[in-house]
Structure formats: C-alpha cells, structure tokens
Amino acid sequence: MKGMRQYTPEKYIRTVENIDDSIVQNYMQVEMDLIRNIKGSKDKTFIDLGAGYGRVLHLLAQIARNVIAIEINPAMLSELRKRARKHRNVKVIKGDMLKLYKLLEKEDVKNPVLLILQNTLGTIEGDYRKVLNQMKLVAKRYNGEVVISMLKSESLRSWGLKMYSKLKAMVGEVDLEKTDPINGFFVSKTGYASRWWSSDDIKQIKDFFGGNVTKEILTPNFCILEIKI
C-alpha cells in the first residue's frame, strides 16, 4: 500500500477508525457482525490477512479456536504484537500474504476462516489474484472458508471521493489525473492506490472460488462475501 507503509496505529485509529462518516462506520460494524456470527467459530482458526494494528483482533480471540494475524507494515506490527500478548490463542506473523501458503505450513491451522477486510484486497501492490489464489490453496488444504470485504466501484464517485477527502491526513490529496471514478480506481498524490470493485469483478471472484456462498451482504457501497471452499 504505497503511501501508507509508515503510518502509525494512532494516526490510523484517529483518521480511519474514528472517521465522521456513517457509511464507513456502518461498513466496519457489518464486518464485525458477520464475523461474530460465523458458525462453529470455536473450532476454527481465524487468519487475518493485513491485520494492521489489530482492529478486529479482540473479537477474533474471543470467538475463535485460535487466531493467526499476518501483517507486513513495521509501524503496525508493534501495536499488533502488543494487543496479541493479551490473548493466549493469538499468533502474529510478519509476512507477505502473497506467500501465505508457505507462511502457514508449520502453523496450527484447523478449519480456517481467511479474512481480508476493509477493502485490503483493493490496496495490494501487484496482482490481487495471486492473493486470492493463496487464500484458495489454504482453504482447500485445511477445509476452510474465506471472507472478502470490498468497496463497490459504483460508489467511488458518489461517496468515495468525499470519504477520501476526510482521510487526507492518511492517504494524501486525490490525484485527479490518475484517479478513475467510473472504473473504480483511486490514486492519491502520495502514491496510495485503491481499487473498488464492480458487480462483474465480484462475480468473477465468486466464480474463482467455486464454492458455496454461505453469506453475501450487498449494499450500494460495499460487498462482503463468506464462501465455503
């Protein structure tokens, strides 16, 4: 995520988690509600990809058999590890989610729920499909499922640009020459880039996993999928 690697947890919490935007607040709450209601969670390993400073860590530790939190940002890792020490069933791994299958080879994984939340999929540097492929390989190997949370491209122009203006301290000013609201691409002058997802993109992701969509939350602004592999 160019432009965001060096931001501190304190700045992220102040700017993003506490943003004065009802859609973002609802989006984060719906994510939490979906996670909280995953069936059989006490017999499952929750794997948080791009765990950040541990925004959902406390909830995961409460409901899961065990939790593996994966993060690569050094500034976020310190707070993530601090929060993880409060829970006996949490392990933090510094690593690249593009190497997820290898990262988990020696870990305690059972019936995993692989989480990629808050449109993290849209901020991946490189080919996002490689991350999806890693998730699919892990889910297949360990009899798991995936939860993918995405922002919808149709709302970038109507809502997203106003939302990003409130995040200027984090992402920088919008680069109007590189941003393409119609096709769901936001780019800032600091180099932060985020892809938002069309209905066709979402369908392709569902088809890629080829499993049962056990839950789909679809609003004008975001989509959250729970897919059993």
- Residue-wise pLDDT for 150-197, tens only, equals 999 999 999 999 999 999 988 899 999 999 999 999 999 999 999 999
Among 61, 45, 218, CA closest to 148 = 218
pLDDT beyond 60 at 4: no
* Residue 218 to residues 16, 52, 215, 222, Cα–Cα distance (Å): 22, 25, 10, 6
Worst-scoring range by mean pLDDT, 11-25, 40-54, 189-203?
A: 11-25
Q: pLDDT band for position 13 (50/70/90)?
A: confident
pLDDT beyond 80 at 7: no
Q: Across residues 217-221, what is the average pLDDT? A: 98
Of 130 and 3, which is predicted with more confidence?
130
- CA-CA distance, 227 to 214, in Å (whole number)? 6
> What pLDDT is recorded for position 5?
47
Of 11 and 60, which is predicted with more confidence?
60
Q: Across residues 7-23, what is the average pLDDT? A: 84
Question: What's the token pair of residue 13?
Answer: 């919490």
pLDDT beyond 60 at 2: no
List the beta bridge partners of residue 152. 197
pLDDT beyond 50 at 3: no
Q: 108-160, pLDDT tens digit by residue?
A: 999 999 999 999 999 998 899 999 999 999 999 999 999 999 999 999 999 99
Query: Which segments of the chain are extended strands (E)?
Result: 45-49, 66-71, 90-94, 113-116, 145-151, 185-187, 193-195, 212-218, 222-228
Q: 44-85, pLDDT tens digit by residue?
A: 999 999 999 999 999 999 999 999 999 998 889 999 999 999
pLDDT beyond 80 at 22: yes
> What pLDDT is recorded for position 6?
52
Domains within the chain, CATH numbers bracketed:
9-151+199-228 (3.40.50.150)
